[in-house]
Amino acid sequence: MTDRFESLSRQLAAPMPRRRALRVMGATVAAAAGAAVIGPRRGDAHSVCVAGEQACGPTCCGKGNFCGFQDSSIGCCCPKGSTPCGKSCCTKGVACLDAQQEVCGCQAGTTPCGNASNITCCAAGTACTSGCPSPSGNYVPNICTLAKSDVNVKEHIIPVRWD
């Protein structure tokens, strides 16, 4: 990184024709104006989402999704119609039994038996027995995004002296 800075400094300090200097200044002004017109895009927790998206922690949920879980470090988007369950999403019509453990319940037409850590789904109207199957098809894919860490930012700062 230091070599790049040295190279840039030498190029800027070298004699330059007027035409080239005007071209460089014009490109700089155009880039700054373009950045101001386009505006910020969602790249961190301080940006805004584009039209049609919903803010969700450090990310944005696109069309057809909604924010199911968010905090300062993570955002999880669930498909519309699903049920949020912690950082997971339950299939449409399936209840969330325990959001902390991210446990979804049973499909329609079945009865949940047991507790959230050991759930089975017995046919509706039958007694809970040990032969009932575990739930299946009760989760839908979701999209979770972690915030970018700035832990190593200090390592990438270049010291500059203004003598």
User: Residue 1: inside a domain, yes or no?
Assistant: no
pLDDT tens-digit readout, 69-121: 988 788 999 999 999 999 999 998 898 888 888 888 888 888 888 887 788 89
Domain count, the chain: 1
DSSP the chain: -HHHHHHHHHHHHS---HHHHHHHHHHHHHHHHHHHHH---SSSTTS-PPTT-EEETTEEE-TTEEEEEE-SSEEEEEETTSEEETTEEEPTTPPEEETTTTEE-PPTTEEEEEETTEEEEEETTS---TTPPPP-S-EE--EEEEPPP-TTGGGGPPP----
User: Residue 18: inside a domain, yes or no?
Assistant: no
Percent of the chain having pLDDT more than 70?
79
User: Residue 13: inside a domain, yes or no?
Assistant: no
User: Residue 158: inside a domain, yes or no?
Assistant: no
The reported pTM is 0.57
